[in-house]
């Protein structure tokens, strides 16, 4: 189904080397998703933009949903990086800043794909499956940041009465709101800056 994935091997190459068509299809699809939305992104459009034939799309991804799901997966890569890097022993402000920066970069790319998944029933199922198979979802971010905040609370950097999990959830929500307004409305008028978000959250957490 995904021949391109098979290329990770050490044996000497055989046959014609891949010409990058697969990646071009993915890139073209993401662009079109941004520009016109899923509902108006056809395999024909994708082929034209990627500079390949329509047949090539079906060869690589099986069907239209296959392309869309592949885009969805590709866009999730950066998140794994953050998850693995962790927040370590950064101080509160630095940890918040790093987490928010990484999350917002990710959301800036992926929100449009999330929305797409809910605008097309053919995508909902596979996307849900992918998320649960890989144990992904907002709760992962809540765990990561919430865990850090709980530790900070024990160090006395966060007030005792605060539910660190719920607080982490609020941060996630704030990021989502910021980025969804950026993607949806296309500007940041009226939005608190990232710096303001960090500072204000600090003020609300501080003992």
Partner DNA sequence: GTCTATAGGTTGATAGAC
Partner DNA sequence: GTCTATCAACCTATAGAC
Is 93 near its own copies (CB under 8 A)? no
For DNA (CB under 7 A), the number of binding residues is: 27
190 binds its own copies (CB under 8 A): yes
Decide: 52 and 21 in contact? Cβ < 8 Å: yes
Between the CA of residue 12 and those of 2, 4, 16, 21, 22, what are the distances in Å? 20, 16, 12, 21, 21
- Considering only CA atoms, which of 39, 27, 34 is closest in space to residue 118? 39
Counting contacts by CB under 8 A, is residue 74 touching its own copies?
no
Token couple for 89: 């022993």
In the three-class reduction of DSSP (H, G, I as helix; E, B as strand; rest coil), residue 2 is classed as: coil
| 38 contact choice in its own copies, DNA, none (CB below 5 to 8 Å, kind-dependent) | its own copies
Single out the segment in contact with its own copies by CB under 8 A; choices: 1-9, 15-23, 46-54, 181-189: 181-189
Task: Identify the sign of the CA torsion 37, 108, 143, 171.
Answer: negative
Query: Which range binds its own copies by CB under 8 A, 6-14, 70-78, 88-96, 169-177?
Result: 169-177
Q: Is 116 in the site for its own copies (CB under 8 A)?
A: yes
**Joined tokens for residue 51:** 């500079």
> In the window 33-52, what residues touch DNA (CB under 7 A)?
42-45, 51-52
- Say if CB 193 and CB 121 are below 8 A apart: no
Binding flag, residue 54, its own copies (CB under 8 A): no
Residues near its own copies, by CB under 8 A: 35-40, 112, 114-124, 128, 131, 137-139, 142, 159, 161-163, 165-167, 169-170, 172-178, 180-181, 183-185, 189-192, 196-197, 199-201, 203-206
């Amino acid at each position: 189904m995904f021949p391109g994935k098979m290329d990770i091997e050490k044996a000497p190459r055989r046959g014609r080397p891949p010409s990058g068509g697969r990646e071009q299809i993915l890139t073209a699809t993401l662009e079109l998703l941004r520009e016109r939305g899923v509902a108006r992104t056809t395999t024909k459009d994708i082929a034209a933009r990627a500079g390949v034939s329509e047949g090539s799309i079906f060869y690589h991804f099986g069907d239209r949903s296959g392309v869309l799901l592949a885009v969805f997966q590709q866009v999730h890569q950066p998140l794994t990086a953050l998850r693995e890097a962790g927040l370590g022993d950064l101080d509160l402000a630095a940890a918040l800043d790093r987490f928010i920066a990484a999350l917002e970069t990710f959301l800036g790319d992926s929100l449009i794909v999330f929305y797409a998944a809910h605008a097309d029933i053919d995508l909902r199922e596979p996307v849900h499956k992918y998320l649960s198979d890989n144990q992904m979802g907002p709760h992962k971010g809540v765990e990561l940041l919430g865990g850090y905040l709980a530790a900070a609370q024990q160090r006395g950097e966060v007030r005792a009465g605060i539910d660190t999990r719920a607080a982490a959830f609020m941060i996630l929500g704030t990021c989502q709101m910021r980025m969804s307004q950026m993607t949806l409305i296309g500007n940041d008028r009226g939005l608190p800056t990232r710096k303001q978000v960090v500072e204000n959250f600090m003020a609300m957490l501080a003992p």
